[in-house]
Amino acid sequence: MVLPEQSLRLTVSGGRERAFSVRQAVIAGWTGRDPAALEKHIRELEELGVPRPSSVPIFYRVSINRVVTSAVIEVSGDRSSGEAEFVLVQSGGRLYVGAGSDHTDRVVETYGVAVSKQMCDKPVAPELWNFSDVSGHWDTLLLRSWIWEGDRRVLYQEGPVSTMRAPADLIERCTGNTELPEGTVMFCGTLAARGGVRPSRRFEFELEDPVRGHRIQHAYDVVSLPIAA
């Protein structure tokens, strides 16, 4: 059997764009280090009707074609929303880190989390960092996202990546090994939303390295497609 594969055009640390081969995509869920914060996020989703996970963390496989660098995505209806996450990419025997959004259909999520993960594209910023460049000060990295409410840009998520399990921990729990398989893209968990999970016509996110003074940023518009009765 021929395994699926797709190519993403990405840059490393602002350098020249090149092709990264993607062979599998993984969404890690409920990855919080702090049990209290993790419980808060679980309750946040329970308020939307999402059942508690069978285990934490948990790893979902999604179609590699869902991983995109688009500035616009199309979704079914108007009940989906983004989640800022740090993203690990294994390519050419090296580990990279970037930023992405696990955009999720919140209606489908209430009756099938695994199915909901397949419903929406997963935008990633078109830039990566060498993981080795940030591993020594990993816990200082910051994630943020913004949504639009009317004409206002509103801070939606903000916090350090240290609120999620460390990359080595997630990799080992997911694979049983110290490295991700070649061509793997893994989304690694998110932060609680300020004011609760809610949709927006535009989602913006960033990963900041305050030690080096660098940021990875991306944004995308959300086009809601009508649902025929």
51 vs 186: CA distance, rounded Å: 23
95 vs 180: CA distance, rounded Å: 8
pLDDT in tens, 178-202: 999 999 999 999 998 999 899 999 9
Architecture of domain 20-225: Alpha-Beta Complex (3.90)
User: Above 90 in pLDDT, residue 228?
Assistant: no
User: Above 80 in pLDDT, residue 3?
Assistant: no
Domain ranges of the chain: 20-225
Bigger pLDDT: 134 vs 40: 134
Residue 111: partners with Cβ closer than 8 Å, 6 or more residues away: none
pLDDT category of residue 134 using cuts at 50, 70 and 90: very high
Question: For 166, which DSSP code?
Answer: P
User: Above 80 in pLDDT, residue 45?
Assistant: no
Residue 120: partners with Cβ closer than 8 Å, 6 or more residues away: 66, 73, 75, 80, 103, 104, 105
138 vs 157: CA distance, rounded Å: 19
7 vs 151: CA distance, rounded Å: 36
42-56 exposure pattern, b = at least 16 Cβ within 10 A, e = fewer: beebeeeebeeeeeb
Arithmetic mean of pLDDT, 1-17: 89
pLDDT category of residue 100 using cuts at 50, 70 and 90: very high
220 vs 165: CA distance, rounded Å: 27
Determine the 3-state secondary structure of 36 from DSSP.
Answer: helix
Query: pTM for this structure?
Result: 0.94
What's residue 1's pLDDT? 67
Beta-bridge partners for 122: 67
Arithmetic mean of pLDDT, 31-44: 81
Comparing 19-28, 103-112, 173-182, the range with the smallest average pLDDT is 103-112
Instruction: Say how many residues make up the chain.
Output: 229
Averaged pLDDT of the chain? 94
- CA-nearest of 109, 68, 89 to 221 is 68
